[in-house]
Amino acid sequence: MKSVTDIRIKRVYDEPSHTDGFRVLVDRLWPRGVRKDDLPYDVWCKALAPSADLRRWFGHKAERWDEFRDAYLHELNASDQQAAIKSLGAQAEEAGYRRITLLYAARDPDLNHAVILADMLRQTLID
């Protein structure tokens, strides 16, 4: 079985590529303006998205980024979240993929939860 060696992030609105590997939607809510039939993805992993309360509080405000990151990492370190992370890696491997691409809808490519989740996945699945 192949193991995961690469984690990437990509907006759901960007063109899919054959190099994306295992495509995982990581938003809790379905992205605006996208029909379910029009988004190629392998798994919708709502469980790894920030909690609804944390997402609403953050509101994509840059001045809240550090506090949001810390709170989201705290959520990701819960045992059920760690199990979901390992399960995601196993699903990608079972499907024969070495790359996971996390799909997110936020506008900011640098200040969004997928950046944090990608780092966590790299530490958990690759390092």
98 pLDDT more than 80: yes
Q: Does 31 fall in a domain?
A: yes
Domain that holds residue 23: 6-126
3 pLDDT more than 60: yes
The predicted pLDDT at position 79 comes to 81
Orientation of helix 113-121 relative to helix 65-76, angle to 10°? 40
As for how many domains the chain has, the answer is: 1
User: Mean pLDDT in the chain?
Assistant: 94
Q: Does 12 fall in a domain?
A: yes
Q: What is the CA angle 36-72-67, rounded to 5?
A: 125
The sheet carrying 99-104 orders its strands as 6-11, 99-104, 22-25, 43-44
Per-residue pLDDT of 30-71, as tens digits, reads 999 999 999 999 999 999 999 999 999 999 999 999 999 999
